[in-house]
Each structure stands twice: as C-alpha cells, then as structure tokens.
Amino acid sequence: MKAHLVFLFTCTAWLSASAATTVDEYALEAARAANATYKNLSDDSTLSARAYASGGKLTHEYVINVKSNISLSKKSQWRGQVRGEVVTSTCNALKNDVFFNERGYQIQYIYLDPSKTLFDEFTVNSKTCKDVSARICSIADQRITISELRNSYPGLFGLDDRDAARLYRDTFYQDMSYEHVACNLGISLIDPPAPPKPVSKSLGAIDKWRYESCLMDATKSPTPLGVTRGTQLCKTKFEQID
C-alpha cells in the first residue's frame, strides 16, 4: 500500500507551516492537501482514494484492488502487514506535530474492497504511537539480536536495522507484524521524538548589562578567531542561544 505514504511524505512538510489555529481547521487543510495529492495517485493496489475531515479527525478512504473471495488467513495477514506499515509511518511522520501530539488531531484509515464493502478500518492517534513506541519484548521473547541476524544472513549487508528487520519478517515470519519481529530483534520501528529546542535563559536587568558588556569586550580581541571564541564564551556563561 503506497497511497498513505504518498500523502504523508508530500504533505507533512506543508502542513507543518499551516496557519490553522484549531484542530478542526488543521484536519480540513490536511484533507484538502490529501485530495490534491490523490488526483495524481499511481498505485496498482489502490483503485481510488479520497480524504475528508470532521471534528479534528482526518479520514483517508481507499478502495483497494483485492479479490472479494480472499481467504480469512490472507485477509488477516494483509491487515497485520498494512496496519504495521501505516501506523509506523504515520507515527514517524507526525512525531513532532503539535496538533497530533497535544490537540487531539487523529487520522482514520478506511479500506473498502471493489464492491465498497468494508475491508479494514483503524485510527491512529498520539496514544497509538505512545503504545507502539513503549512496547518492549521480554528477554524470553528476544530470540536473536540484530547483530546475530546479520552474521547469519550476509544478504542483509548494506541495510539499516529497520530494513533488515522488515526483510527478515517478509522472508520468514509473514504471519507476524513488523513491530513484533522488530521487537524480537531488540529494535524499534518508531523514531524517538525530537529533543526540545534549547531556549535562551531570561536575563534580568543586571545580568543583561553584564552579558552585553561581555560581548563588547569580546569584540576588542585583535583577531577574528578571538572575537568568535570570546562571543561564544559569553553566550555559554549567560546561557544564551543563537
């Protein structure tokens, strides 16, 4: 399934600069962006795609190219694989999104077969991502480390840990989710949230005067390198960030 990836990786950067002030406005903007992207969708597994928003929830609805008589086992396998891929990519794409993490923005995925019968449906929100990232295998479940896996399968050379885990799962454990296999290897498919950006310390009148005096003294150095080092020392001493 590539349709959801098309939206996430072409529209996430645009939405990060959104002027929306409410979660409802943000979801509506995301729906408009998704529908604009879906007009040029090229994905053999997806017959059609549309997006709509309501109450701070963005819904992606896909009509997928799947046989109506698909077996229950294959249907279960499809759901496990797609849910694992969609949840992981959604959490990674929105890990720093304020509306998603703090204001209740959530994304629903609906999959219909060609006859428009419901095939699968699930929602991803901030709690979903926290649950996934916090999932830890017990020592008993961790059957092999990623290093041991690489030693056993030279074909994994050149792949990062996540891609190696996905290939391992696709080859040997198709009945298991990507997250479970990765967990058994001791790795996570979810990127950790970005650390908060440092901010300058608020200075009182006296400290502000001392800081400005420090900067002025730094400019008196006879060399450009001395000016740079002196300025940096002042910023470090008074906890000021560029």
Residues 6+ apart with CB under 8 A from 207: 238
Could you read off the pLDDT of 137-171 as tens digits, one per residue? Answer: 544 345 677 888 888 887 787 888 888 888 888 88
- Residue 129 is assigned to a structural domain of this protein: yes
Residue range(s) defining the domain that contains residue 151: 135-196
In a domain, 215, yes or no: yes
pLDDT > 70: what percent of the chain?
A: 82
Co-location of 62 and 30 in the same domain: yes
pLDDT of residue 138: 44
Residue 242 belongs to some domain of the structure = no
Using the predicted structure, report yes or no on whether residue 2 has a pLDDT greater than 80: no
Q: Is residue 96 part of a domain?
A: yes
Q: What is the pLDDT of residue 7?
A: 52
Same domain for 76 and 150? no
**Is 123 within the bounds of a domain?**
yes
Distance (Å, whole) CA 105 – CA 73 = 33
Q: Are residues 91 and 170 in the same domain?
A: no
Domain identity same for 95 and 160: no
The helix-helix angle for 23-38 and 3-16 (nearest 10°) equals 130
User: What's the rounded Cα separation, in Å, for the pair 72 and 100?
Assistant: 33
Residue tagged 């979801």 (tokens) = 27
Residue 192: pLDDT over 70: no
CB 169 within 8 A of CB 178: yes
Res 140: pLDDT: 39
Rounded average pLDDT over 195-220: 87
Whether residues 90 and 171 share a domain: the answer is no
For strands 106-112 and 57-64, give the pairing: parallel
Using the predicted structure, report yes or no on whether residue 205 has a pLDDT greater than 80: yes
Q: What is the pLDDT of residues 20-66, one digit of tens each?
A: 678 898 889 888 888 888 887 777 788 889 999 998 999 999 999 88
Q: Is residue 173 located within the same domain as residue 151?
A: yes
pLDDT digits (tens, 9 = 90+) for 58-89: 999 999 988 878 888 788 778 877 887 788 78
Structure-model confidence comparison of residues 129 and 16, the more confident one: 129
Phi, psi dihedrals of residue 76, rounded to the nearest 5°:
-65, -40
Q: Is 83 domain-assigned?
A: yes
Q: Structure tokens of 55?
A: 């109450």
Q: Are residues 44 and 119 located together in one domain of the fold?
A: yes
CATH code (residue 122) = 3.30.300.250
pLDDT at 110 over 80: yes
Query: Does pLDDT of 6 surpass 80?
Result: no
Alpha helices, DSSP H, located in 17-160: 23-38, 72-93, 98-102, 126-134, 146-152
Query: 125 and 175: one domain?
Result: no
pLDDT of 136 higher than 60: no
Same domain as 97, residue 42: yes
Q: Among the three residues 133, 153, 175, which one is the final residue of a domain in this structure?
A: 133
Q: Are residues 128 and 139 in the same domain?
A: no
Domain final position from 113, 133, 153: 133
* pLDDT in the model for residue 105: 92
> Is the domain of 219 the same as that of 192?
no
Q: What's the Cα-to-Cα distance from 186 to each of 118, 164, 178, 180, rounded to whole Å?
A: 35, 12, 12, 10
Q: How many domains does the chain have?
A: 3
Under 8 Å between Cβ of 51 and 38: yes
98, 177: one domain: no
Task: Give domain status of residue 112, yes or no.
Answer: yes
Where is the domain boundary, 111, 133, 155? 133
